Amino acid sequence: MTLTDWFNKRKIQQIAARDNDIHIDDSVGKLWTLCYNCSSQLPKKDLENNLMVCPNCDYHFRIGAKERIKLIADEGSFIEMYSNIKPCDPLNFVDTQSYKMRQQSASAKSGLDEAVIVGTCLIDNQKTAIAVMDFEYMGGSMGSVVGEKITRILEYALENRLPSIVFTASGGARMQESALSLMQMAKTSCIVAKLNEAKLLYITVLCEPTFGGVTASFGTIGDIIIAEKGARIGFAGRRVIEQTIRQKLPADFQTAEYLLKCGQIDFIVERKNMKEKLSKLIFLHTKK
Amino acid sequence: MSNNDKKVQILDFEKPLYDAENKIEEFKKMSSETKINYDDQIKKLEEQTKVYKKELYEKLEPYQKLQIARHPQRPNFMDYVQFMCEEFIELHGDRHGCDDKAIAGGIARIEGHNVMLIGTMKGKSTKENLECNFGMPQPQGYRKALRLFEHANRFDLPIITLVDTMGAYPGMLAEEAGQGEAIAVNLKEMAKLSVPTIAVITGEGCSGGALGLAVSNKVMILEHAYYTVISPEGCASILWKDASMARVATDALKITGEDLLKFGIVDEVIKEPTGGAHYDAKQMADNLKEALLKALDEFKSMDEEQIREQRYSKFRSMGVFLQ
C-alpha cells in the first residue's frame, strides 16, 4: 500500500462513517431537540411539558397556531370560524416550484390549509375574538386568505362588540400573490380603523418571528402591542439592513427586548404568563 | 427624438431605434451637403422607423417598462408640482424632530382646486439623491405625511399623493424608530380620512413603502409605472435564490398597470408620452393633471360618510380566494 492509497482509504472510511453519524442523529432527533440558543440537548417530552421553552436558557421555541390556542383559550372553548376560506393561485405563479405545489407541501408540513386560524374563545370566561398565525405554513406569509380571515374575524368582533387579539408569526406579505398580498395590508388596517372608532380593544401579540407586511399593517397598530419573550420583530430583514448600511448590527437587534428599549412595544410576556396577562388586560378594559 | 433640452439617456432595448434615427439624421445632413436628392429614401426610412417605434413602445415587456419606470430622468414630484400647480406652498417636518426629505408635501392649487399634494421625492443628481435618500422614506417621513393628511382633513382639502419609491428605507435607525409602525399607522389613519384621497403611482410602487401613501379612494398608475409587493430583484433573490432572475420575477409578479387593473388594485392607467414620461415631462404632467381633475370631480358630490365608505369597501373587496 502506498501512502496515497492509505490516505484514500482513510478518506473513504471517514465519509462512510459520516453517513452513519447522520443516520444516528436522525433517529435521536425524534426524541431530543437541540436548543438554538444554548445548544443544550433537550428531551422533547420535557420541552413540550415546559410549553416549548428551554428549561436551561428560557429560549422560546416557535409553536404552531393550534398549540398556542390551547395555551390561551379556556379548555374546549375555542370555536374555529371561516375555515372554508381556501387559497387559490390568481397569478399562476411559478418560481422554482409552482405556487400550487408550495401550497400542497405547506399543508402537508403544517397540517393546516392556511397560515392563520381564526375564531372565538373564552379567556378566563371572557369571550374574545382571536386570530393566530402559524409560521409553518409558508413562513406565515400573508396572502389573500390570511388577509380575509383576519378581516372577517375582526368584523365579527366589531358586530358583536368583542375584544380581539391577533398573534402574529410571519415573514411578511406572500410574494406569490404580489400586489394582492400588498392590498391585504390595507384591508386589515382598514378594519382596525373601524375597531378604533367603535372603541373596541384590539391587542396584538408579536411572536417569533414577525416581519415585513405584517409588522407594517395589523401587527403594530394594536391598542396594546405585546411581544413574546425573545421574538424577533422588524420591518426589513437583518441581512437586507446589513447590506444597505454596510455595518454589522448589534446581536440583539430586532429582538423584543431591543424594541422595548426603543419604545416600540408596550411590554414583553413569557409564554407561561401569556394567558394571565391577556385576561387581565381584557378585564381592565371592559366597562363594569 | 427628445423634446427636452437635455439629452435623453437611451435604454438598451431602445438602441436599434436610436441607431435608425441617427442614420436618418446622417442621410439628411449628407443630402444637404452633397445636394443630392435622397428624399425618397429618407421618407421610406422615416416611415419604417415610425412603424418600428410604434410597435416597440406598444409591446413593451414588463421588464422594459420596469426600466422606464426607473429611468433616472423620469419626472419627479417637483417636476409635476411645477407643471401642474398654479400655487404650491411646501410644508416641512413631522413636528417630532425631523424633516424627511424623501417625502415632500404642501398645499397646492390645481386649476382652481385647493388640494394637499404629497409625494415621495427622488433626486436627479447624486447630490439631490443623497439628500432625499433615493426616495426611500424613513418612519419620520410617513409621520410627516400623516401630519399633512390630518391637516388636510381639518381644512377639507382633497389629498393627492404621487408615489415613486423603491420602498421604505431598510436601515438600523429606521427600525429603531418603528418603520413598520409608521407605515401601519398611515394605512389605518388614511382609512379614517373624510376628504377624498387620490393616489398615483408615478414610477416605482414598491411594497409597504408605497402603500403607506396610497390607501386612497382612487388609485391610478402611469402607463409604465409598476406596483408590487416586493422588488423583482428582492423576489428573485428570495424565491430563485438568484438576483439575476429579476427579469423572470418581473413577469411572474404581474406588476404592470394592465395586470393591476385586472385585479382591481388600480382604478385607472394614465397614458404616458411615446417612449415614457421622461421624453416629455410637460405632456406627462398634462395627462396627469387631466386625470386628477376628472378624479376630483368624481368625489365632488359625495358627503364625508360616502367618501369613507367608498374607500373602505374598495379595499375590503381586495383579494382572491376560494370559499
CATH number at residue A242: 3.90.226.10
* Closest chain B residue to A96, measured at CA: B240
Q: Is residue A16 part of a domain?
A: no
Q: Is the pLDDT of residue A194 over 80?
A: yes
Whether the full predicted model's pTM is greater than 0.80, yes or no, is yes
Are residue B113 and residue B235 in the same domain, yes or no? Answer: yes
Q: Give me the pLDDT at residue A20, please.
A: 56
CB atoms within 10 A of CB B27: 16
Q: Give me the pLDDT at residue B2, please.
A: 41
- For A238, residues 6+ apart whose C-beta sits below 8 A from its C-beta are A249, A253, A254
pLDDT tens by residue, A15-30: 777 655 555 444 455 7
Are residue B196 and residue B79 in the same domain, yes or no? Answer: yes
Q: Is residue A273 part of a domain?
A: yes
Mean pLDDT across chain A, nearest whole number?
Answer: 93
Are residue B75 and residue B34 in the same domain, yes or no? Answer: no
A vs B: CB pairs below 8 A: 196
Q: Give me the pLDDT at residue A27, please.
A: 47
Q: Give me the pLDDT at residue A13, please.
A: 82
3-class SS of residue B319 = coil
Contact of B320 with chain A, judged by CB distance below 8 Å, is answered with yes
Q: How many domains does chain B have?
A: 2
Mean pLDDT across chain B, nearest whole number?
Answer: 95
Place of cell 398645499: B107
Q: Give me the pLDDT at residue A67, please.
A: 96
Nearest to A217 among B184, B241, B311 (CB): B184
Are residue B259 and residue B166 in the same domain, yes or no? Answer: yes
Average pLDDT score over residue span A77-91? 97
Q: Which domain holds residue A224?
A: 62-285
Q: Is residue A110 part of a domain?
A: yes
Strand order in the sheet with A164-170: A79-81, A116-123, A126-133, A164-170, A202-210, A224-228, A267-269
Q: Is residue A12 part of a domain?
A: no
Q: Give me the pLDDT at residue A288, please.
A: 64
Q: Give me the pLDDT at residue B188, please.
A: 98
Average pLDDT score over residue span A139-147? 97
Are residue B303 and residue B224 in the same domain, yes or no? Answer: yes
Q: Where does the pLDDT of residue A31 fall: very low under 50, low under 70, confident under 90, or very high at 90 and above?
A: confident
Are residue B41 and residue B81 in the same domain, yes or no? Answer: no
In this structure, the strands spanning B159-165 and B197-206 are parallel
ipTM more than 0.90?
A: yes
Average pLDDT score over residue span A245-270? 95
Q: Which domain holds residue B37?
A: 12-59
Are residue B29 and residue B130 in the same domain, yes or no? Answer: no
Question: CA distances (Å), B40 to each of B27, B29, B49, in order?
Answer: 11, 15, 14
Q: How many domains does chain A have?
A: 1
Q: Which residues of chain B have pLDDT under 70?
A: 1-6
- DSSP structural state of residue A220: G
Q: Which of B321, B322, B323 to mutate to test the interface with A (most CBs of A within 10 A)?
A: B321
Q: Is residue A99 part of a domain?
A: yes
Are residue B25 and residue B45 in the same domain, yes or no? Answer: yes
Contact of B254 with chain A, judged by CB distance below 8 Å, is answered with yes
Q: Give me the pLDDT at residue A36, please.
A: 87
* Closest chain A residue to B214, measured at CA: A186
